[in-house]
Structure 1
Amino acid sequence: MLKSTFLSVACCLFIGHHAFTQCIAGGSNAVAPYASNSSNKGVMFDITATNTVTISCFDANLPALSVGGYEVYFKTGTYVGFETNAASWTLLGSEGSLLSIGLNLATPISVPVNKTILAGQTYAFYITASNPILSTGVLTTTNSGYSAITSNSDLTVYGGAGITYPFGTVTANRAFNGTVHYILGDPLPVEFLDFTAVKVDQSVLLEWETESEHHSDYFEVERSLNGIDWNRLLTVKGAGESSVKEIYQKMDDNPLDGISYYRLNQYDFDGTKTSLKTISFNNKVEIGENDIRIFPNPIIDRFRVFGNQSELETLKVFNSVGEDISGSLTMTCHEGFTDVVFKDQVEGVFILKSKTNSQILIKK
């Protein structure tokens, strides 16, 4: 264990990416008009449930011929008053290279949402481009005040507001153009947060996180060379009943060469199977000199930093007023990654700086 102003680390290379994610759009849809006359980097909107619904995923109106990265966030309650408060939002997932289907057409955003909204409850969502090349991320329609964008017997979509990435300038009265895919009721056995694959020496560390579990028997990780033909790689016992965050870790000690795919499934005690997420992994890609990765983020009590060893030699963490708090952090170095204890920090936004890079940290 090590504690110092400079968080010296001994990490191996991070090799991998989320080039392929999966969202199964099933059940019912609520469609907001695809009638763009405005655009923003991102858009926030509220969904209020009349009946209990589980949001599966979204389609959005994206600029024609555009290719870029996108992120999806959520928070309980309305977005109003929290547009620039990054600590109030939780990242659901990202898609690294999304190709627009065309102007005023529905482009699927393959980030699984899987959030249940009880009858009478409101959740806020934020869909945004993350690629700095895309000055325009999503297309919107001007509206008059905070009003209903679309509604049916199950839910109503309200809002919204245009946002500069990540949580910057707010442009009011910008209505979401898109489709809400949802299922009636609460069919999900787990509230799922993320699934990642990270190179550790000659192996691959598979890590996933749940926020709660109900009747959760076990998890299954499948592996595929082509994304079509799958073989079971491993299984891990689930938590059964849990209302706290659970983190699962397993190693693939014999990863396939080149690009392969990992699929995470969950099984109930009655044998019901739910596919949670599919990711791709490239066993041959070399990391860039200034690439670093943080997991999880937002942070509850600790996070891990992956990256090039030379890039991580002088890690520093700054709080929201610019103070260097690195000396107060406890770090544990492992082979291939470093744990940083963050549980004693207040909720809010922090900045992690490496040799040539910096990233936002969000403490929940």
Structure 2
Amino acid sequence: MKKLFYTIFACFTIVLFGSGIWCQPMTMTVNNTGDGSDISLGDGVCEVTAGQGDCTLRAAMEEANNNGGFHDIINFNIPGVGVHTIMPGVTGAIPPVVGLPILTDNAGATIDGSTQPGALIGSNPPMTLNLLIEVKGQGYMMPPPALLMHGVWIMSDNNDIRGLVVNEFTGDGIRIEGTPTSTDNNLIYANIVGTDPSGGIDRGNATLSAITPWYAGISIIVPPCDENPVFTKNNIVRRNLVSGNGSHPTPVNRGEGVSITNCPPGDNGFNTVEYNFIGTDISGTAPLGNDSDGVTIAEAAHDNLIDNNVISSNGYSGVGINGLPPSPPITPVARYTINNTISNNIIGLDVNTSKALANGFQGVSIGKFGPITWGFAPSNTVTNNIIAFNIMNGVLVDEQQTDNANCDFNLISQNSIYSNGQLGIDLVSPSGGPTGVVTFNDPGDPDTGPNQEINFPVINSAVIGSSSTTISGTVDVPSPTTTTVEVFIAAMDPTNHGEGMTYLGSTTPTTAGNWSLTVGVLTTSNMLTSTSTDANNSSEFSALHTPVLPVELMGWKAELKESMVLLSWTTASEVNNKGFYLLKSNDGKEWNELCWIPGHGNSTKVNTYYFEDHYPFLGDNYYSLLQEDYDGVNALADIKYIYYSPDIIERIQVFPNPSSGIFDVQILNTDNDPVSIRIYDIIGRMYWSEDFYSGEMSKSWKRRFELQTKQVYILQVKMGKMLVNKKIVITN
């Protein structure tokens, strides 16, 4: 309203007094690459030298700012072929002119580099961009202490920036900054930000990030946190190439591709980043990463949408969502980054999803910026993305240790996640601890870590029928009937928990936690995994399970017993079962037949089978079970792994054994391996557990135990790659 009143008053002044204020929208054409200012603001003419008609980008932006209340258009027609480079601040003026004018008129302006003759946006930008107007900073030329300079700086509404190449600025390439009345509804469309005009060579912005606060290729920002808050919302970043941004000449993981940051009591939300290539070249097929996150959403930014982008090859994570813990007096209260949606993106691959272009940390990182845990990022959504080949986890959630609820309620649903270096989904436990470690289930699920460390489901069976496959299992959560179980065809990972590669469907458990899902016909080569989600808390992926033909396996185990491996399996029912081939391998790839054991044909009772392998390989041993019907159809069971070392039995001692209930366990961990220790009864109930990280357990560890009940227990020790089970007999 203030802007409208000023405009009406100014135009009325023209009528009465002939004042030199232009009172209609202007269309200006930049026709040279100079950096001079307009000679006469308000006359409706973009001109640097009187009578010459020479219009620079700086002069056009000055006229647009002066022409308050009208949306002005800045086109280009610079003589000559090829790329035309505009370098703000290279005029030699004293004091030096740095940076282009900040856009301040809320009616906005359109700056359209695609109007330069020969330039092209094309039908599918950024892939089809051929841009000829380059706005270049001095970030690659200025020795320290370099001057901070942003490229295109917006502090007003309704601007449209398109068809520009923006590179080599020490600060942000394009900066949308909040204002007291809010900076809203700006469009950043079809630009190249951070590379040369070809879109293939690193010419990043944010080069000063190495020595001062971090900057980005495109930044939507609310600074500072004080008693004069500023605001921004509803801005759109669409179909740009945003790559190569960060410190120069040596990358130090500082400088994002796209950054959306807030600083309460200001506010930053409801922005959209869509259909961009972030961290690749212009073809979307080669790496050209930003130094840190491809997209960062931080410090209480909220309700932002990151959708349908290619986000790959960035130095930190593809997408990072982080709050900020309280740190009085600078940060008196925590800043919660909430309600952001990451959907339909390709993260860690090229645009064709055919080649790995790994991000350096996670695909999507919630609560962790690179290696640093920030937490305070609840209630975000990660859905329908393809997340693969990232160096660490597909999706990570890590909670800051200030409290136990600052990274809960994050929904991770219906993504295609595979071939990441650690886990598909990692709920880091303990908070701030090592990544890539499965957080195992516990009875009743009484956890307080990220996403409340909700238990993952257990797949008990997957039976292939003539027209469908029935998958069933259980989930131990406080409220089964409000829980959703999602089932996936899995890609293997080193933990044997897999990553959900192909979404099959979802179901709701019964009050007892039992669930079942019927999907199309699968094959015995399809391994399955699953997740559970309750109150938008999504779990890690469950242990792998392989569908079988109608022989229902209740259990299939490989156990190291002294110097031999005991293989056992139990069937609940058998239909047309000819028998079983036991297969053995030392690498999990090349298999040999160990033996043939006949089946029971058709049976509805429980049958148990055993085989003892008295000649395990030194080191790695893989076992699989191939079931064969009388009609020649085969089904392959899960792969079981045993590591055999002749001295492993001697390194784990229980004495006395049998005992009256008091006994010692001694473990020699000479290699400082990570160790997991469990004691179960014979029906699988866990009585005691303890885990040690690498180097945490002493090389000679000993502990005394007391068990009261007269029965047989199982001591299970996983030490590095080795897994050993020992019987403990309590006689009194």
The TM-score bracket by the shorter chain reads: 0.3 to 0.5
Higher relative strand content: 1
Which of 1 and 2 has greater Rg? 2
Calculate the TM-score normalised by the size of structure 1: 0.42
Higher relative helix content: 2
